[in-house]
Every structure is written in structure tokens, then in C-alpha cells.
Amino acid sequence: MSSFLLELSYLIGSITFVVGLKKLSHPDSARQGNLLAAAGMGLAILATVLFHEHNGERIGNIGWIAAAMGVGTLIGWSMAMKVKMTGMPQMVSLFNGMGGACAAIISIVEYNSTPPDGAGAGHWLVVFLGLIIGSISFSGSMIAFGKLDEKIKDFSAKWLTVFNLLLLAVIIGILVVAVTSPTTLGPSVLWLLLVLSLLYGILFVMPIGGADMPVVISLLNSLTGMAAAFGGFLYDNQIMLTGGILVGSAGTILTVLMCKAMNRSLLNVIIGSFGGSAAGAAAARGDQTVKEISLTDSAILCSYATRVCIVPGYGLAVAQAQHICHDLEKQLEAKGVEVYYAIHPVAGRMPGHMNVLLAEADVPYPKLIEMEDANGMMSSTDVAIIVGANDVVNPSAEDDPGSPIYGMPVIKVWEAKNVIVMKRSMRSGYAGIENPLFFHAKTKMLFGDAKDTLQKLVGEVKMT
């Protein structure tokens, strides 16, 4: 009966994962999907503690298990409740790294509890792959966390790519020896692979530029899922296997889609990263005239428009201005203006950052228009308002072959009749690339903090 109840719980948990993931595809049902999947995981954990048996014995140390779960829940809950939207990418990277670390620890425990000649090559392959992938995910996620939090700077050198490829080849070579002949290298092989994998994770993420960080976060997430799936293989645990496969496959698909949105291959993202120092030919245009616009003129221009497009970027998250932005949208719609948001797939610093940000402000989901559709609407748009975005509206991607982002699909705001750019200053974006849009004939700059500027603009619109 215990075995039946355990398997039934795992089946129910797996179903909740699948249904929850499906619900995450739409903002209206995302919260429900998240809670459903969490409930399924809770059921699986409870069933494991109550019903799992090994050689006829139930799980012991219930007190320690409960205490560890309590501490982990308290830490995770407090971090999630306190984090701001600007810190969400960092938190995602941190939590993802913890998942990779858990997978690596599982492999370490399994290696130490299995005699070298007590298992076949398949078993050792799963153990070592879990260790390698989990360790890479952990150390890489920690570096991503530091870079997103601006505590670690990019480090790029021509020799680093070659060194990383050699390091990866060494790891694979040791893996082959460890799997085919477990006794050849002895217990040291575990720690050797652990250290080399941690080092590779660090060096793999270090040179990747700011504009590529959303892709890297997605890739690391898929690695954590794969590592968890290997744990499912080790323990013949269906719920771990299902969860790991879902996370790994979803992360991989998202990574591919984001690379497609940037018109770059994954290999190009990893070894040909852009961001940081490259400025491209656009820097030469920096001496052109910048035209400013007043709040009053901006309000008049928007109030008498037929269609207004708002392009959000990371600056909107920094200013915590999403609610004020929604107020502007409602004020303009009250005057009969059609308002929509143009969302670039890699805007912000993690996948879906802008969607989550605007959903928090209760912006209706149908108003969030994907890049391809938004570009089709741009020529019939009277005013395009750029709020904190930079690289995703850079025309260098279209007309400057010397730019590091050349060929990357962007939102073509310059095709609108008027462009208003809200920025604190003329500084370049996260990719470190100059933006000639600021000097475009249709562009007018509205300088200031996004939240304060939008608040004043809402007031002007009300009086227009």
C-alpha cells in the first residue's frame, strides 16, 4: 500500500507540473500554475517522507528533514517577498544555482555510497554527468548573479575562449576514463571533476556581455533541469525525472527562441559575446545634435495622437515606474488614444522581464505586443515612447555592419511619426553600445528619472 500511495503521489505531482507549466504560458493563469506546481511538489515531498521504503525501512531523521525544510522555506519566502523587480534576475540566478548545487551534492553522495566495482558504466555516467552539469550550473549562476548585481565585471580575452574549449575537452576526457574504468583514477576523480567543472562554470560566464545575459540565464536554467533529471535516473524517481525534464526542455526551447530573436546562434552567444567595450560605428555619431522636448509638449503630442506605443526597458524596472506607466496608458485611453506596449524578447535582464513587470502593474495582457507584430504597427503609430530601453531599439542593428549587434532584430521605433526617449542621461545601455536613435530626426529626448517624469507627464496629460 505504501508503494502504491507513493507512486500515486508522484503521478499526481507530475501532472501538476505539466498543467502548471502550461498555465505559466499566460499571465492571467501564471500565478495559479505556479501554486499548482508548488502544491504538487509539496505532495511529492510529503509522500516521500511518509511512504518511501528502502530494504523494508522507512526514512529516518524526520526531525532533521523537517528542520531543514523549515529553514529553507523561511529563507526562500523572505527573499522572494523582499526582492524588487530590479533584483528579480539576480534572485532567479541565485535560486537556479542552488538547484545545480543540489544536483551536484546528490552525485557526490551517490558516488561515495557506491563501491567502484558495484555499478555499471551507465550508473557512473549518470553520476558524473549530474556532478559536472550541476557544478557548472552552480558556479555559472553565481557569476551571473554577481554580474547582474554589478558586483562582478565582464572579463574577456582572446585566449579565454581557447582555454575554455581545452578545459571542456579535459573534463570530457576525464569523464570517459571515469566511466569506462572507475578504479583507474580512484576517489580523486570525483573532486577533480568537481573543481574543473566549477572552474569551467566561472570562466564560461565571465566573458559574456550584458546584452546576452537573458540567454545565459535561460541556458543555465536548462542545465539545472538536466542535472535534476540525472538525479531522477539515479534514484529511479519519477517526480525528479519529470520535473528535471520539464525544466531542462523548457529552458532549452526558451534559449533557442531567444537566440533566434537576437538573430544569433547559441555558439555565437557563448564564444562571441558582445557588450562591455564595443561601441561600433555608432560612437562616431555621438557629436550629432540631440533635441529635447518639454513635459507640456510631450503631453500635447501624446494626447492628440491616434496611436501611442510604449517600449519598456530595464530602466522602467530600476525606477519602479510600471504603475505610473499604466496610469499614463489609462489617461491617454480616456482621451480616445490607442495605447500598446512593444515587448522585445530580450528586454531587461532575464527572459520575460518586461512581461512580469507590466503584469505586476495589472496591464492587460492583450496590450503587450510582441516585437514582430509591433514592428508591423509602427508606421501607423503617432508616438513611440521609449521608457528605459536602449539596445532593443538601436538602429545600428539594421544599418551598421560594424556594430556588435548588427543583425539582431530590434523594435523599429524610428518608423513611428514621433519618438520620445525617456532617459536619465546619454549613457549607453547594458551592452555598452552607443545608440544613434538619440540623434535621429524624429527623436526628442525627455531627460529625468522615469518614475518622476512619467508622474509629471500624467499630470500634464490630465490638464491637456
Neighbours of 163 (CB within 10 A): 13
Question: Among the options 149, 391, 399, 449, which is catalytic?
Answer: 391
- CA gap 210, 368 in Å, rounded: 24
Asked whether the beta carbons of 353 and 316 are under 8 A apart, the reply is: no
Backbone angles phi, psi at 336, to 5 degrees: 90, 15
Residue 443 backbone dihedrals phi, psi, to 5 degrees: -95, 140
The phi and psi torsions of 422 (rounded to 5 degrees) equal -95, 115
C-alpha cell recorded at residue 430:
547594458
CA distance 222 to 96: 9
CB 303 within 8 A of CB 376: no
d(CA 439, CA 445): 9
Q: Distance (Å, rounded) from C-alpha 259 to C-alpha 238?
A: 31
The helix/strand count (H/E) of the chain reads as 17, 8
The helix or strand, by DSSP H or E, that contains position 443, with its residue range, turns out to be: strand 443-447
Please answer whether residues 401 and 373 qualify as being in contact, where contact means their C-beta atoms are separated by less than 8 angstroms: no
Distance CA 274, CA 213 (A): 10
DSSP 8-class letter at 292: B
**Widest Cα–Cα separation across the chain:** 81
> Do residues 343 and 374 make contact, with C-beta atoms less than 8 angstroms apart?
yes
Residue 355 CB partners (closer than 8 Å, separation 6+): 27, 343, 368
Give dist(CA 399, CA 401) in Å, integer.
Answer: 6
**How far is it, in rounded angstroms, from Cα 17 to Cα 239?**
9
> Is 391 labeled as catalytic in the residue annotation?
yes
Q: Judging by DSSP bridges, how do beta strands 57-58 and 53-54 pair with one another?
A: antiparallel
Enzyme catalytic residues: 391
